[in-house]
């Protein structure tokens, strides 16, 4: 929106023009004497028209595109970071689930082999023997200590 040349300029407007003049002098567009003269006019200017006349023969300031990133680029970056974080968390979860699954597999295998009593009552051929009756144990004790027959 073009500004009207009869509107009064503020101190910040004068400072902006002074910065533009100093930048033009640093680029070699103005000599030191010209810079001092134009700075004097810029700081005494009352309207936008007077400020515009001070910089009329200078190229318009270029906007620095490095500092102005479009919003869609920022949103895409945030989305990419979020998806990468989710992917990393999923991989970590799968690794832990895999380790827990392997541990549980070994645990169930050990339970299947040792925990169900498969080794406790089995014979060398894999057939299970019946447990001795309590009366058999009683008779065998008498036979050893009493000198009588072990099986009555």
CA distance 74 to 76: 5
On the 0-12 / 13-18 / 19+ scale of CB atoms within 10 A, 54 is buried
pTM across the whole model: 0.41
Rounded to the nearest integer, the mean pLDDT of the chain is: 80
Work out the percent of the chain whose per-residue pLDDT is above 90. Answer: 47
8 DSSP β-pair partners: 47
Determine the distance from the C-alpha atom of residue 145 to the mean position of all C-alpha atoms in its chain, rounded to a whole number.
78
pLDDT of residue 120 exceeding 90, the answer is no
pLDDT of residue 98 exceeding 70, the answer is yes
CA distance 107 to 104: 5
Mean local confidence (pLDDT), 64-89: 88
Could you give the 3-state DSSP secondary structure of residue 75? helix
CA distance 10 to 3: 13
* Least confident span in 1-5, 28-32, 36-40, 44-48: 1-5
């Amino acid at each position: 929106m073009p500004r009207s040349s009869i509107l009064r300029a503020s101190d910040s407007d004068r400072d902006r023009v002074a910065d533009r003049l100093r930048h033009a002098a640093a680029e070699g567009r103005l000599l030191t004497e010209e810079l001092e003269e134009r700075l004097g006019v810029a700081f005494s200017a009352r309207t936008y028209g007077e400020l515009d006349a001070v910089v009329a023969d200078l190229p318009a300031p270029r906007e620095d595109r490095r500092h102005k990133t479009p919003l869609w680029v920022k949103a895409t970056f945030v989305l990419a970071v979020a998806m990468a974080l989710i992917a990393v968390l999923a991989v970590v979860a799968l690794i832990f689930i895999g380790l827990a699954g392997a541990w549980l597999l070994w645990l169930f295998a050990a339970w299947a082999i040792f925990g169900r009593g498969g080794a406790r009552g089995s014979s060398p051929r894999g057939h299970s023997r019946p447990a001795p009756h309590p009366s058999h144990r009683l008779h065998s004790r008498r036979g050893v200590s009493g000198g009588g027959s072990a099986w009555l």
